């Protein structure tokens, strides 16, 4: 089995490239989609994120903007968030 990882900044074509691989029959795992599901209503990360960062959940989902404002620029908070999301 060959494993390929696509990385890059916003707008670099990762989603498009992953789509091309999927069309060719490759299995594709989309980490961004997985995190969106964890943050959506009913997502497994909502309760632990709200416990760690009170006030970042709105209407049953993680408010990504609020969370971003809370963790960016604070290495300890970012590490705590990664520990929650990457379990």
Read off the DSSP letter of residue 63: -
In a domain? residue 4: no
pLDDT attached to residue 64: 95
In a domain? residue 44: yes
Which residues on neighbouring strands pair with residue 57, listed in sequence order?
62
Domain that holds residue 37: 31-85
Instruction: Quickly list H helices, 1-87.
Output: 14-23, 31-39, 46-52, 64-71, 75-85
DSSP SS3 for 58:
strand
In a domain? residue 59: yes
Query: 69 CB contacts (<8 Å, ≥6 apart)?
Result: none
In a domain? residue 63: yes
pLDDT attached to residue 9: 86
10-residue mean pLDDT series, the chain (87 residues):
88 92 94 92 96 96 96 94 90
In a domain? residue 19: no
Counting the structural domains of the chain, the total is 1
């Amino acid at each position: 089995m060959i494993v390929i990882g696509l990385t890059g900044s916003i707008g670099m074509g990762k989603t498009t490239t992953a789509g091309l691989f999927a069309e060719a029959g490759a299995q594709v795992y989309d980490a961004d989609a997985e995190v969106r599901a964890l943050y959506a209503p009913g997502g497994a990360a909502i309760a632990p994120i709200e416990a760690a960062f009170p006030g970042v959940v709105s209407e049953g989902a993680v408010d990504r903007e609020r969370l971003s404002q809370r963790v960016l620029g604070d290495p300890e908070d970012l590490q705590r968030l990664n520990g929650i999301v990457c379990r």
